[in-house]
Structure 1
Amino acid sequence: MCRIAGFLDLSCKGNYPIEQTIISMRDTLSHGGPDDAGVYIDKDFPLALGHRRLAIIDLSPSGHQPMEFENLVITYNGEVYNYTEIRRELEKEGYKFFSSSDTEVILKAFHRWGIHAVHKFRGMFAFAVWDRKAKELTLVRDRVGVKPLYYYYKDGLFMFASELKAFHKHPKFEKRINPIGLSLFLRYGYIPSPYTIFENTYKLKPGHFLKINSKGEIKEEPYWRIESFFEQRKEDWTNKSEEELEEELEGLLTESFKLRLVADVPVGMFLSGGIDSSTVCALLAKEGVKLKTFTIGFYEKDYNEAEYAKKVANYLGTDHTELYCTPKEAFEIIPKLPEIYDEPFGDSSAIPTYLVSKLAKSQVKVSLSADGGDEQFCGYSIYWLIADRINKLSKLPLIKPISKVLDLIHPDLALRLYQTFKPILPQYTNFRDKFIKLRNVLKAKDGIGQYELSISYFLDEDLERLGISGSVSITDLIT
């Protein structure tokens, strides 16, 4: 839904065309906003905002962005599902509205309450607000980071965008590989926030806002943390029975899913047949919602989830569409992935995600995806597998002496010994890597460290051999 971009160039000396630059940045994102486009350029300051619109709420021209109100200008991507309630609250305070868009509600809520307005928003969003009077730019990203938001800052140039590709259109952007971003990709298969593959370029953290003023001073702070939210409700939850908690959970999920159907266009659902998407479909079907569901299948049985999705769809009575993908079709997508993701992304799910999105687009304009459901409800077997392994390792006698002995054995020597006695030993692939992982897991100080080592593709030893330093741990990322 929509794309945003913009820049604030405090070093600007008129050596490049501001309007042409913001239009070029904006239009690299036209695939995400085909319905409308706009720009705002401050006549008194070197600031430009761009917007590409995918019309979901208020399909009329009155939803055009960037949108202005008094001293504020907003460019916004996402959807705030409870915007009608916030609008009524603002109307009681004397605010008038000329559109039925959630954009106008966000803008005027920000005018009324400042950054504290974000606590009223329920939804997924990434937006930038320029205060013409204070000469201050504010970026905000939703609580769990559903909507992406990148920024770049070097030598007085501050840029932001929904996708990294927009930065390449600015003549002052320096495209240099960030060793930390590269090491994170090699370790995890993706680059977690706040890092990116480029130097001086970052992802705004989920649940955070950022302000930059006319002096170039940046302040980035959290407005929401999951651990703080949990602590606030902890006492309430611990005093409830399991049945009461189940009932409350189902109520919250149902309300949340129904809110996400708020749109002036058709809404569909990606359905894999797993815990995540099946839960969403089941609770909405229980509420009488008729959904269009979409599934990608593979002819290779070991990789095919379509048969499970079809059973769920038949049981729930959804309007179901499935498409089977051949290996040739899957390979044809691979060259498109760098353009889609803008930085290295090593998850094979990118291929079916692209296919199911393309399939859904042929019938609907918005689709629910159920991202995060497997993580919340233990749908991935790897969590149980790793937990079981860590539990067994922790019970080994003399674990510290064993760790010290393994530390004295070079991985290449361990591999030669294994190859020598391989006929009488269990058969392993990548034995050298497994040996290093075992050695490091035994030395890990806590469960988080053990988990990190278990899921890592490249280890510290591998990164050192490649000459890549500056790796960051999971603990560093979540603190």
Structure 2
Amino acid sequence: MCGIAGLVDPRHSADDLRAAAGAMADALAHRGPDGCGVWAMAERGVAVAHRRLAIVELSEAGAQPFVSADGRWVLSYNGELYDAADRRPALEADGHRFRGTSDTEILVELIARHGVAGALAQVDGIFAFAAYDRTEDRLWLARDRMGVKPLFYAASGSRLIFGSQLTALTACPDFRPEIDPEAVSSLLRHGYVPAPGAIYRGVRKLEAGHSLGWRPGEPVRSEPYWSLDAVIAAGRAEPFEGPPEEAVDALETLLRAAVRRQLMSDVPLGAFLSGGIDSSIVAALMAEGGARPRTFAAGFPEDPRFDESPHAAAVARHLRTEHTTIPIAERQVLDRVADLPAIFDEPLADPSGLPTHLLCAATRAAGITVALSGDGGDELFAGYDRYALATRFARRIEPVPRPLRSLGAAALEGLPRGAAGLLARALPPPWGGPEGVDRLRKAAGQLPGSGFDLYRRLLTLNPQARALALGAPGLPSPMDAAGTLPLLARMRRLDSLAYLPDDVLTKVDRASMAVGLEARVPLLDRTIVEFAWRLPDNILTHNNKSKWPLRAVLARHVPPALFERRKQGFAPPLASWLRGPLRDYARDLLLGADSGGGFLDRARVGHMLDEHLVGTHNHAVGLWPLLTFEAWRLHRSA
């Protein structure tokens, strides 16, 4: 992958334009350590920059910005087109003489012949790009269908700046970013800032599957060129109607093709392997035909609750991959917590971000430049535990009249803390134990609601986010929109629109690109996305198994005994860390003289931290976004 940046600003001289674009590109050096280029047209006030991580076509024939053969289009592109080889013959037949083998050249020539909209309708891959049309004096920005690759922009009057990360925008002269209180509120609630919003006022994320074309003086409007809702509607209109085993046959064929397409590379390639279903499928299909892919797993030897490495090693032995376990010690993670704001340019309160980064760094140090991951399987094929919880709630609790549920909730919530503690100790896990009181009270609060209310609550890190953010209501989120889909489809849709691109894919992009490692996601191939949305619920959850189709595919390659187990996740034990080794770090950040910066209610934050530290409540999930924001805020002002 790479980093892209640029600006349109007619006020600048030629030297100033190049200097500004160069500074923006330099801020993305970690994304592209193999080269830097700047193209500028002073009379139009346009400059486009690029930082290169060479993956395909390692020679200068793949350097960017790339100018089309007719001289009309200038392209700065971050991504991979997995169907590039299929597009090449038609371009050659049309008379194009290729300078090299890069997919950049394929893309710019498709744009030259069909326009941006026509090219986007054809290509398949992960990307974010800027294409400047010299004939119409128009800048185009576009982002891939599922939002794998990032793109930010800010526009005001006759000026527009853009970049792969916020660090590129903040490196642009005369750009004065201001933190948006609404974004802070959203961060505290969700753990991320939902697109199209950004942590800075006036900055936007280009949404997944969107493009925009702009010239000075025009309003900035992004438009979808691809819509997940259209895919969902098409899938529901023509659902898969065969027996479950036929669905597995079809899915395996699509998965095999997607993985093979994504193995193209002129540099060393490997895969992340946790031993779970999704990453194991990717590794299994990579290993077909006798190949021995290199696979990498993170190990947490000090805490077996979070250590999936033995399972990953067992799958690797069965598949005969060249496997490496990367041990991550608690001290190693704790020592790097302060580095998070430098890795994540926009605050992201995903506790697995740092372990993911350490895994990526070790994988890159082992000589790998491209790694395939299993991200996307849970959203597409209904793999999250919260789906099952919400569905069971809807089936078993919702039929009880709401007044009765409200009475039960009031009774539980009204129990004195001592009585609630006695009740919690008498109950089995997960309701028992020292944190059982919190769980009981949270469960009581859900009783009057619906299954979807429970799902939304499970994705809310801080129910008091608005109060903690001094009353800021937060940015619009897909989570708050009304929906008419059945419950399971509605949850999958919302996770695919929000949690997947704004948390999961953002985490993987920043964690990997910080060390110059490209991460690919074959489960998010367009063919698989479209097929997943044709599958009815009774196939997705066949035999009462979450993401049953993926399980069934994997069982053809790996014995179920090696992967049929409860999800462990990849998050560190925050609750104990905040009461132990991170205690002083948390107190310094949240209770210091400059804490809050005018964005947080210091009294509420302090009370919340105190309750956690003395052990009467477990606020770890809610405290982490507060710590993430404060660490990021202080880092940016340092």
Task: Give the structure-1-normalised TM-score.
Answer: 0.91
Quote the residue 2:485 is aligned against.
Answer: none
Shift of residue 390, structure 1, vs aligned partner: 4.2
How far apart, in 2, do the equivalents of 1:161 and 1:56 lie? Answer: 20
> What residue is the counterpart of 1:142 in the other structure?
144
Asked if 1 retains the 8 angstrom alpha-carbon contact of 2:420 and 2:437, the reply is: no
After TM superposition, the structure 1 = structure 2 runs for residues 70-81 of structure 1, keeping only pairs within 5 Å, are 70-81=71-82
Distance 2:473 2:15 in 1: 35
Q: Distance in 1 between matches of 2:263 and 2:413?
A: 55
Q: Compare 93-102 and 71-80 and name the one that shifted more.
A: 93-102
TM-superposed CA distance for 1:375, in Å, is 2.7
- 1:379-436 CA distance string (max 9 Å, x none): 43343234334433313x2314644896xx7xxx986743142354225638578646
Q: C-alpha separation between the residues in 2 aligned to 1:39 and 1:16?
A: 12
SS in structure 2 of the partner of residue 367 of structure 1: strand
Q: Deviations over 1:322-346 (max 9, x none)?
A: 1111111011221221111112111
Q: How many residues align?
A: 469
Tell me the SS of whatever aligns to 1:215.
coil
What is the CA–CA distance in structure 2 between the aligned matches of 1:57 and 1:455, rounded to whole Å?
Answer: 39
Between the aligned partners of 2:126 and 2:466, the Cα distance in structure 1 is 36
CA spacing shift, 1:161–1:425, aligned 2, 3 Å? same
Instruction: Pick one of 216, 224, 227 that aligns with 1:214.
Output: 216
Q: Which residue of 1 aligns with 2:167?
A: 165
C-alpha distance in structure 2 between counterparts of 1:62 and 1:213, whole Å = 29
When residues 405 and 270 of structure 1 are mapped into structure 2, their CA distance, relative to the original with a 3 A threshold, is closer
Letter in 1 for 2:420: K
Q: Matches of 1:150 and 1:4 in 2, distance apart?
A: 10
Give 2:428's aligned residue.
none
Structure 2 match to 1:180: 182
Distance 1:465 1:295, change over 3 A: closer
2:374 paired residue number: 370
What secondary structure is seen at the aligned counterpart in 1 of 2:397? Answer: helix
Residue matched to 1:277: 279
Instruction: Tell me the distance in 1 between the aligned counterparts of 2:420 and 2:188.
Output: 29
Going from structure 1 to structure 2, the CA distance change for 1:104 and 1:434 (only over 3 Å counts) comes to farther
Q: Note if 1:4 corresponds to 2:4.
A: yes
Q: Which residue of 1 aligns with 2:506?
A: none
Q: 2:355 aligns with which of 352, 356, 360?
A: 352
Question: 1:470: which partner in 2?
Answer: 473
More strand by share: 1
CA separation in 2, counterparts of 1:111 and 1:95? Answer: 11
Q: Given the alignment of the two structures, is residue 83 of structure 1 paired with residue 89 of structure 2, yes or no?
A: no
Percent of pairs with identical residues: 33
Q: Does 1:111 align with 2:107?
A: no
2:416 alignment partner AA: Y
Structure 2: distance between partners of 1:320 and 1:23: 40
Task: Tell me, in whole angstroms, the C-alpha distance in 2 between the residues paired with 1:75 and 1:33.
Answer: 12
Equivalent in the alignment of 2:327? 324
**TM, length-normalised to structure 2:** 0.69
Match in the other structure for 1:337: 340
> Structure 1 residue 455: deviation in Å?
2.1
The 1-side partners of 2:468 and 2:58 are apart by 55
After superposition, the C-alpha distances for 1:294-314 in whole angstroms (9 at most, x for unaligned) are: 111012111101011000100
Mapped contact 1:414–1:435 kept (Cα < 8 A): yes
Cα separation, partners in 2 of 1:324 and 1:317, compared to 1, 3 Å: same
Where do residues 195-210 of structure 1 align in structure 2 (5 Å cutoff)? 195-210=197-212
**Superposed displacement of residue 214, structure 1:** 2.6
Q: 1:432 to 1:316 in 2, by over 3 A?
A: closer
RMSD (Å) for aligned C-alpha atoms: 2.5
DSSP 3-state at the match of 1:295: strand
Once structures 1 and 2 are overlaid, which stretch shifts more, 152-161 or 60-69? 152-161
* Distance change (3 Å), C-alpha of 1:165 and 1:81: same
Deviates more, 1:178-187 or 1:134-143: 178-187
Distance 1:325 1:465, change over 3 A: closer
Query: Are 2:46 and 1:44 aligned?
Result: no
Contact persistence 2:413–2:444 (CA under 8 A): no
Which aligned pairs between 1:390-405 and structure 2 lie closer than 5 A? Answer: 390-395=394-399, 397-400=400-403, 402-403=405-406
Output the amino acid matched with 1:356.
L
Residues 167-216 of structure 1, C-alpha deviations (whole Å, 9 max, x = no match):
11112222211122212211121223212111111211111111112323
3-state SS of paired residue (2:424):
coil
Give the distance between the partners of 1:314 and 1:38, measured in 2 at CA: 44
Q: Within 2, Cα distance between the matches of 1:184 and 1:466?
A: 9
Q: Which residue number corresponds to residue 304 of structure 1? A: 307
